[in-house]
């Protein structure tokens, strides 16, 4: 099969992904290894290291103001998700549960790229997010604010 047909078959039926055969495996490594490692390390730690082994100190924001910061509880929620306590993690800190799921998605995406030997490029919805990154960023900040209000109203710290 000619090279152009091989690359075209990668696009067939996948509106959310496009890929191409790179000139060398180093291109695949450069595209996928950094995020594979950055998401894989926390996921591995959450699976094998108990949370009480971490030398976590109290949040400086809580210490200064007496109120939880927007990120208070994310680590505990992340570890709860890894332990299988999904409902408790969601109730305790929804942001941590979402971060855990996103980390798994990013990890699996980059692992698939590394294993397939292709540079996977998001398209469709993912490219829309990149094109509208300012609106997406503002939406994320709004959701972070809503999450913080939820934590304050619930009295969670």
Three-state secondary structure string covering 25-79: HHHHHHHHHHHHHHHHHHHHHHHHCCHHHCCCCCCHHHHHHCCCCCCCCHHHHHH
Q: Which two tokens stand for residue 105?
A: 């998605």
Question: Nearest 5°: phi and psi at 12?
Answer: -60, 125
Element (H, E) at 119: strand 119-122
Element (H, E) at 156: none
Contact assessment for residue 123 and residue 15, using Cβ atoms and an 8 Å cutoff: yes
Q: Which two tokens stand for residue 37?
A: 């490692």
Rounded Cα distance between 46 and 29, Å, is 25
| pLDDT tens track, the chain, 157 positions | 444 444 444 544 555 566 667 788 888 888 889 999 999 999 999 999 887 787 766 777 888 888 888 888 888 889 999 999 999 998 888 888 999 999 999 999 899 888 988 888 777 666 777 788 899 889 989 988 988 888 888 876 6
């Amino acid at each position: 099969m000619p090279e152009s047909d091989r690359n075209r078959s990668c696009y067939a039926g996948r509106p959310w992904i496009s890929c191409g055969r790179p000139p060398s495996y180093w291109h695949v490594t450069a595209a996928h290894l950094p995020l594979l490692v950055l998401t894989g390390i926390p996921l591995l730690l959450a699976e094998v290291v108990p949370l009480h082994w971490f030398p976590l100190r109290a949040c400086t924001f809580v210490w200064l103001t007496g109120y939880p910061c927007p990120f208070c509880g994310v680590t505990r929620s992340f570890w709860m998700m890894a332990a299988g306590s999904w409902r408790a993690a969601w109730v305790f800190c929804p942001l941590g549960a979402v971060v855990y799921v996103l980390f798994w998605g990013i990890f699996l995406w980059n692992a698939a790229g590394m294993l397939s030997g292709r540079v996977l490029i998001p398209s469709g919805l993912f490219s829309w997010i990149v094109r509208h990154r300012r609106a997406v960023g503002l939406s994320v900040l709004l959701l972070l604010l809503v999450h913080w209000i939820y934590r304050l109203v619930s009295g969670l710290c």
